[in-house]
Structure 1
Amino acid sequence: MSLRSLAAQSLSARQKSQLRKFAFQFGGYRMRRVEAIVDQLVREDGARSFLQIGANDGYMSDPLNLAIFRHGLRGAFVEPQANYHRELQNTYRGLPGLRYVQKAIASEAGHMTMFSLDCSSGRLPRWARGVGTLSADQIRKFGDQIPDIESYIRSQDVPCCTVPELLAEIDERDPDIVVVDAEGLDYAILSQFDFAALTTKLVIYETESMEAGDIDALSVMFVRCGFALLSAGQDTVAIRKTTRSWRSMGVEPAAADITQR
């Protein structure tokens, strides 16, 4: 087993976050594209606040983690799963200006069943930690990569609220950055935001697990609200065309706008 694999298993999300921060400072870590876009928005456009829905442990494949540790961003995390909610709080323990909301975001308030994979055996791939979803059908789709997936599926009752209810609860009601990772249900969440009224500069959402119709509907929504869309691996990045960051990228809209499909 490699040193990297041993570190991944033995270190906490907080420890790995701090190591990545130091590695970056000394040239030992290169930002992923989505991290670089966040960093640029902080430096060039003064972004300071965020709302992250589906934050997991705060470290794994997280686009905000490095920026929070480096720039002291303030904001709110939303993570309904009790175990990851605890890890998330530990990851950012001691950092000021952060709020933790243990709820799922849905079309109406109440309670719903959340499905996840039990990774305690160590047999599942690392990405399996991040596939919690309100859709049983969605989590069963990973059966093509995980044999006998039914034996690993766990369910728990979680409280739910809508996006307007969430924004009324937190301090950052018009966050500079919004990140959503809801395992295929991102459209149901993002469509509740009124981005035409908000001044949000950057939205990052996972399109890898979304239906094509939902991807197209979000693309149309963001373009109408003055955003340009960029592909960043499994994520899509929506960035305001009025930001310095977008203008300094030197990317032609026709080449960057993934709505031209």
Structure 2
Amino acid sequence: MVDGVWRGIASFSESVFCLEEPYNTKAIFGRVVQRVLELLTNQLGTVPFVQVGANDGISADHIHSFVKSGAWTGVLVEPAPVPFARLRENYRGVEGLQFAPVAISTSEGTLPFYFVEGDDGLSSFSLDTILSHAPKYEDLRGMVRTLEVKTRTLDAVCEEYGVSSPAVVAVDTEGTDDIVLESLSIEERKPSVILFEHCHLSAERSARLRDRLVDAGYRLIHDRHDALAIAPGTFDEAQVDFLADVVAVARANFPKAGLDTL
């Protein structure tokens, strides 16, 4: 909150990916993500995937249209009961989908999970991440509810649901995306594309995730909220260079002042 104006999570994010950029870079990055997913779908035909923090399958969802098309097969993971019910309904009749009502962590068991009554998008293991949105609400803390959820590693979910080699891994878990990816053997499974939200991560945690992906050969393209990691050999290198340059050029046009820098 600056001068009474909510400037968004990215305005105080510590993530190493969070750079100053025009607000419309988010839309440009979103189009780059869509292009990458189009290219991958054209290349593979059927795309095996896993989505963690699927919510209702629609809200703020980069992969919804591809999953809805029936061209993708995989598992959607969502531990909160209310959005999980809507998730199943929103994909009713789409073949090749499985639904996992669990949460992803680095160990198997149960953990307290926080959700906001009336705003399913704010569900997380991290209460601090949820409460960072408090300036947008009259009484956010009073809206928070807790439930015990079953936890699995992402490796275990991939094996159980028959998606041992997902081409796409999409994660949006409000502050625990790095933990989710820590529970996946990225170096062995080698997903072609990994999508994750970074803006809630600390500098240390986001840097550790960045370094792991770079060491595994992934090319990273990002805006102030989300990141796209493309595995080596997935596309022609010049094509990836072009997509990265599209976002870089948008970022280079950052205005030094003004309320459009969210």
Query: What is the TM-score normalised by the length of structure 2?
Result: 0.77
- Counting only pairs closer than 5 Å after superposition, residues 211-222 of structure 1 correspond to structure 2 as 211-222=202-213
Residues 1:243 and 2:242 are matched in the alignment: no
Larger CA deviation: 155-164 vs 243-252: 243-252
Select the structure with the greater relative contact order (CA < 8 A; seq sep ≥ 6). 2
1:67 maps to a residue whose letter is F
Q: In 2, are the aligned partners of 1:40 and 1:245 still within 8 Å (CA)? A: no
Change (3 A) 1:48 1:179: same
How far the C-alpha of 1:252 sits from its partner, in A, is: 8.7
Q: For residue 128 of structure 2, what is the aligned residue in structure 1?
A: 137
Q: Distance in 2 between matches of 1:163 and 1:87?
A: 22
Write the letter of the residue equivalent to 2:231. R
How far apart are 1:45 and its partner, in Å?
Answer: 4.9
Shift of 1:154: 1.3
* Deviations 1:33-64, CA, capped at 9 Å, x for gaps: 32232122211355611000000000011111
Distance 2:122 2:92 in 1: 24
Q: How does 1:1-261 map to 2 (within 5 A)?
A: 32-46=31-45, 48-70=47-69, 72-119=71-118, 128-244=119-235, 247-251=238-242
Cα separation, partners in 2 of 1:179 and 1:147, compared to 1, 3 Å: same
Query: Cα distance 1:158–1:233, how it changes in 2: closer, same or farther (>3 A)?
Result: same
Aligned residues: 219
Structure 1 counterpart of 2:52, one-letter code: I
Are the counterparts in 2 of residues 75 and 172 from structure 1 also a CA contact under 8 Å? yes
Q: RMSD of the TM alignment (CA)?
A: 2.2
1:133 counterpart letter in structure 2: S
Unaligned runs of 5+ residues in structure 1 are 1-30, 120-127
Measure how far apart 1:138 and its partner are: 1.8
* Same amino acid, percent of matched pairs: 24
Hey, what's the Cα distance between the residues in 1 that align with 2:223 and 2:70?
22
TM-score (norm 1): 0.77
- In structure 2, runs of 5+ residues without a counterpart are 1-29, 249-262
In 1, Cα distance between equivalents of 2:70 and 2:94: 11
